[in-house]
């Protein structure tokens, strides 16, 4: 909505536009650009300022009285507070563009996962870890006596705010497994849209350019590393962290760009407190996400010293927000028992460190306002403080070192613990060519931050999360939040160079002009060039997380078997590769708490050639063994894995399996299910020291095969062999029938 003040401010900044604005007032409405004796640049600025607006057959002045009053200088006085708290009517074109960009964010996270998530009326979450949270939310719903202060220890020390929030939402939806599944499936989409909105607001606040802000949201939509972690059904805790991060960053920019006595600053303080508190309470590694605030504080203090601004005065709202966040976390720790003392004190330590930075730089500013001296003083005080903390609190220091070594600087078979560049092409598949846009813009903004402190917030966050992503790829989603900002900035710069958009005009950036057909084509072409790889990788990376129909069908088949009356006394645990062990066990027995046993034992099980020992270990624990032929690719022929690949038949180097019986095979032979049986023992006699061939046709759900073995008679011609399948066996030219009951009961049958 155009106002007299806005017109007056525009003319004051751009006097040359006054005649052009008057020309639009004098023109007969509706008019077109060709009807006006003004250049295209001036007309673009007038449209961007909202002075004229587009109608069906041309343009008209949006508010003739306001424009005339602005040109005449008839403007009512406004206070700073009035401007801060006024609610401008959003430009319809901008609102529509933002809605479209956010819809794109949601679309890229829904369309490629919808089918795999909603299978046959069931909610099938993506990947393995979401079933850990699904288990706990359902347990909490089924235990009315539990409260926020009596959460299980593994929850209260892990992701208490996340689990508690999902618990609350599921309760409001009526509770039960159905509500839990829907909440966990859709919450990443809500998180992605909120993150997109926060990226827009943050970018707009930092750049003052609506075009850059919209471009940032579009790039966020197609960054694979962010899209996969906020895709439909991927109910890991990371998606829950992103909005808190966005709130924190936006609040910091608000505190940097507003007067310390303004109402906007008060909102920024509250936002910073909530953001810091939310990040730490949501995840035990949340303190890592607030560390960049310390770097931002150092940069701000140095800039303020150079500008002659008091760091203590200018930084007071930041300290207030950090103190509020520290208070929220400590309150959660002391009243609800959430997190360890080390984690709960992290925001307080951050507050103390930032306060120390501001005090030291305040002293420098009063003695000699030299930014280089301020940097030196901060470094010296920081090193002194670190050494003092190590000496005074050795136990806490050792705990922090142990946590860093065990969590941050670890490398194992879990993909998210690998570094961003550990795979030659991993970074490209997670960030696409947008990284080539973002990094130069990040470098430019780093230099720019020396003059405009608002740039310090995305710059420090960007570098910090890039470093963390280099250590562990799990932080690529946090980095993507800020990479999108810099990619959007570079993208607009490029399309300006090819004349696809009009150059930015200071203070006239609350609107966007529609490009003509040629310009639109250029914009699309440039975006496809730099964002096309990301668009292609989003479905690929998303589908790497989703549960294939074959896997769900396998789990569903086992669940049906476990529900049969004859299975009542048998174990229901599913022994499988650890990476999807929780999926199977959730659907079969409801216990998806841990994959620890499968992770420690499944690999050694496949590699072993002692099938009898493994039967003894598993028979009282596991009801099903899920095997994929790819699990044993390249395994020695005598290994259990190789023999499972031949349905338990004898291989070149290994005897046939006696206690593992194939009962199911998925349609594409990607998954086979074996059950553990006592096995029927066949005994008989033939020639001394003779090799006898044994075979039986076998079948199960989805397959038909032949079980084959050889057995050696002893010196007296006797033999004994245990087999896991019922059926009519052919043994040395003779046949013998083995019943299901004999296999289950371990009976001995004379051949």
How far apart CA 729 and CA 738 sit, in angstroms, is 7
Q: CA dihedral defined by 193, 199, 202, 208, rounded to 10 degrees?
A: -110
Predicted confidence band at 43 (pLDDT cuts at 50, 70, 90)? confident
Is the pLDDT at 509 greater than 60? The verdict is: no
Q: How far is CA 677 from CA 81, 509, 651, 662, 741, in A?
A: 78, 73, 20, 10, 11
pLDDT at 317 over 60: yes
Mean pLDDT within 187-209: 95
**Cβ-proximal residues to 664 (8 Å cutoff; 6+ apart), any chain:** 554, 557, 558, 671, 672, 673, 700, 701, 702, 703
* Per-residue model confidence as pLDDT tens digits over 219-255: 999 999 999 999 999 999 999 999 999 999 999 999 9
When pLDDT is cut at 50, 70 and 90, the band that residue 85 belongs to is very low
Average pLDDT over residues 74-96: 58
CA distances from 670 to 265, 550, 637, 645 (A): 58, 8, 20, 11
pLDDT grade, residue 694 (50/70/90)? very high
Q: What is the mean pLDDT of residues 686-707?
A: 93
Whole-prediction pTM: 0.85
Q: Please tell me the distance from the alpha carbon of residue 662 to that of residue 647, in angstroms, as a whole number.
A: 6
pLDDT at position 726 over 50? yes
Q: Does the pLDDT at position 541 exceed 60?
A: yes
Give me the residue spans of the domains in the chain. 4-77, 89-236+416-547, 240-409, 549-750
Most confident of 231-235, 355-359, 522-526: 231-235
Please say if the pLDDT value at position 406 is more than 90.
no
Per-residue pLDDT of 115-132, as tens digits, reads: 999 999 999 999 999 999
- Considering only 327-336, 384-393, 591-600, 629-638, which range has the smallest mean pLDDT? 384-393
Cα–Cα distance for residue pair 179/31, rounded to 1 Å? 56
Reported as a pLDDT band with limits 50, 70 and 90, residue 83 is very low
Q: pLDDT-derived band of residue 202, with 50, 70 and 90 as boundaries? A: very high
* The predicted structure's pLDDT at residue 732: 82
Fold of the CATH domain 549-750: Immunoglobulin-like (2.60.40)
């Amino acid at each position: 909505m155009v106002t007299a003040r806005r017109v007056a401010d525009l003319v004051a900044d751009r006097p040359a536009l006054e005649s052009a604005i008057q020309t639009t007032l004098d023109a007969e409405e509706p008019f077109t650009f060709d009807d006006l004796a003004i250049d295209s640049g001036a007309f673009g600025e007038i449209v961007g300022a909202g002075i004229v607006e587009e109608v069906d057959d041309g343009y008209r002045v949006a508010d003739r009285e306001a424009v005339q009053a602005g040109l005449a200088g008839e403007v009512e006085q406004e206070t700073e507070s009035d401007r801060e708290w006024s609610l401008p009517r959003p430009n319809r074109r901008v609102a529509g563009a933002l809605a479209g960009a956010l819809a794109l964010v949601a679309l890229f996270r829904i369309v490629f996962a919808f089918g795999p998530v909603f299978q046959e009326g069931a909610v099938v979450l993506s990947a393995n870890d979401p079933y850990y949270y699904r288990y706990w939310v359902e347990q909490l719903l089924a235990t009315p006596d539990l409260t926020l202060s009596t959460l299980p220890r593994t929850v209260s020390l892990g992701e208490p705010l996340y689990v508690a929030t999902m618990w609350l939402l599921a309760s409001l939806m009526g509770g039960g497994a159905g509500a839990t599944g829907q909440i966990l499936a859709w919450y990443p989409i809500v998180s992605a849209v909120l993150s997109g909105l926060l990226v827009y607001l943050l970018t707009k606040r930092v750049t003052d350019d609506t075009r850059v802000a919209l471009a940032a949201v579009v790039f966020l939509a197609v960054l694979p590393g962010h899209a996969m972690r906020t895709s439909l059904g991927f109910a890991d805790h990371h998606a829950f962290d992103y909005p808190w991060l966005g709130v924190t960053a936006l609040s910091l920019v608000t505190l940097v760009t507003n007067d310390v006595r303004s109402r906007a600053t008060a909102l920024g303080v509250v936002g910073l407190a909530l953001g810091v508190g939310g990040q730490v309470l949501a995840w035990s590694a949340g303190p890592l996400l607030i560390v960049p605030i310390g770097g931002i504080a150092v940069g701000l203090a140095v800039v303020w010293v150079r500008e002659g601004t008091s760091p203590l005065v200018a930084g007071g709202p930041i300290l207030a927000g950090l103190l509020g966040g520290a208070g929220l976390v400590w309150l959660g720790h002391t009243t609800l028992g959430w997190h360890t003392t080390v984690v709960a004190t992290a925001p307080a330590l951050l507050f103390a460190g930032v306060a120390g930075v501001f005090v030291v730089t305040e002293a420098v500013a009063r003695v000699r306002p030299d930014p280089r001296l301020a940097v030196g003083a901060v470094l010296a005080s920081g090193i002194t403080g670190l050494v003092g903390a190590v000496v005074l609190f050795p136990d806490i220091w050792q705990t922090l070192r142990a946590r860093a070594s065990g969590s941050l600087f670890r490398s194992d078979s879990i993909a998210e613990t690998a570094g961003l560049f550990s795979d030659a092409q991993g970074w490209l598949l997670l960030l696409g060519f947008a990284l080539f846009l973002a990094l130069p813009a990040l470098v430019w903004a780093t230099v720019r931050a020396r003059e405009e402190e608002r740039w310090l917030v995305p710059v420090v966050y960007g570098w910090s999360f890039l470093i963390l992503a280099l250590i562990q790829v799990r932080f690529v989603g946090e980095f993507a939040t800020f990479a999108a900002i810099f990619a959007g900035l570079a993208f607009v710069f490029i399309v300006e160079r090819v004349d696809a958009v009009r150059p930015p005009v200071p203070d006239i950036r609350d609107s966007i002009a529609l490009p003509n057909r040629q310009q639109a084509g250029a914009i699309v072409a440039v975006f496809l060039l730099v964002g096309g790889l990301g668009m292609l990788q989003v479905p690929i990376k998303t589908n790497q997380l989703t549960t294939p129909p074959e896997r769900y069908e396998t789990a569903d088949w086992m669940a049906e078997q476990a529900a049969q009356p004859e299975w009542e006394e048998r174990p229901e645990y599913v022994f499988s590769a650890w990476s999807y062990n929780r999926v199977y066990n959730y659907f079969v027995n409801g216990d998806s708490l841990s994959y620890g046993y499968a992770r420690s034992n499944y690999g050694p099980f496949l590699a072993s050639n002692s099938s009898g020992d493994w039967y003894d270990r598993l028979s009282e624990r596991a009801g099903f063994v899920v095997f994929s032929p790819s699990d044993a690719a390249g395994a020695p022929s005598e290994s259990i894995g190789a023999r499972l690949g031949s349905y338990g038949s004898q291989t070149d180097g290994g005897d046939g399996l006696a206690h593992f019986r194939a009962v199911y095979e998925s349609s594409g032979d990607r998954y086979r299910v074996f059950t553990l049986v006592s096995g029927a023992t066949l005994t008989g006699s033939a020639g001394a020291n003779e090799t006898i061939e044994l075979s039986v046709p076998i079948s199960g759900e989805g397959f038909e095969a032949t079980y084959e073995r050889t057995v050696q008679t002893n010196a007296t011609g006797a033999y004994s062999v245990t087999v896991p399948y019922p059926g009519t066996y052919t043994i040395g030219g003779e046949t013998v029938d083995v019943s299901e009951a004999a296999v289950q009961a371990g009976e001995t049958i004379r051949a």
